[in-house]
Amino acid sequence: MMTADIKLAEMWEGCLKNDRKQQELLYKTLAPRMLAVCMRYAHDKDEAQDILQEGFIKMFKNAHNYRGDGNLEGWIRRIMVHCAISRYRKLKPMVLVEDFTEENSGLSSGYNAHGLEVKDLMKMIQKLPQTYRSVFNMYAIEGYSHQEIGTKLGMTELLSRTNLHRARAILKEMVNKLTANEMHYMAG
């Protein structure tokens, strides 16, 4: 076991005993990584921080449910994702598919993402409509199947696939525009 894993295990033992200092230490250790997870689902940083707080509260309340079977950080990450999904389900509008025309989603197959930084991609993902953002994150980043996404978000598997397709199309369009702007800037 690595030193970081041992320290995390020690903090967790303290959390199980309701040791406030260990809870705070665990929070400070994992919050930056968990905030990054929450940012993928949130519209902005404030919303991500709300999800983060809800997730840690839920995690501390349910600490006794962690059986130690898998990675502790992975278990906490899933709690964050579930909090984001729950928030989405509470706030989602009745219309699950935004009004995008075929012209807006029909993109050229090739694009050059060379030089695209992670922070730029994260900003693009955050600009997606809520449903598309949630489906994209759950499928492409968290590894959920369309059936699981449909169950968790209250939609059909086909609608999950459609939303993923549209999210990818919008992201491709954003990347194409960014690339075209960079090429135009370099040529000028």
Separation of first and last alpha carbons in the chain: 55
Q: Which of 5-14, 67-76, 90-99, 175-184 has the lowest mean pLDDT?
A: 90-99
Domain membership of residue 134 (yes or no) is yes
Structural domain of 162: 102-187
Q: Is the pLDDT of residue 37 over 50?
A: yes
* CA angle centred on 159, ends 153 and 163, rounded to 5°: 85
Which of 64, 91, 118 is the last residue before a domain boundary?
91
Q: Does 97 fall in a domain?
A: no
Kindly write down the DSSP assignment for every residue of 81-117, as one continuous string.
Answer: HHHHHHHHHHH--S--S----HHHH---S----TT--
pLDDT bin (cut points 50, 70, 90) of residue 49 is very high
Cα–Cα nearest to 142, from 28, 29, 5, 36: 36
Rounded to 5°, angle at Cα 48 from 28 and 12: 30
> What is the number of domains present in the chain?
2
- pTM for the model stands at 0.60
Each residue's pLDDT tens digit, 91-145:
654 333 333 333 333 333 333 344 567 777 888 888 999 899 999 999 988 889 9
pLDDT reported for residue 81: 92
The CATH number of residue 13's host domain is 1.10.1740.10
Is residue 51 a contact partner of residue 130, using CB atoms and an 8 Å limit?
no
Task: Sort residue 154 into left (φ over 0), alpha (ψ -120 to 50) or beta.
Answer: left
Q: Is residue 96 part of a domain?
A: no
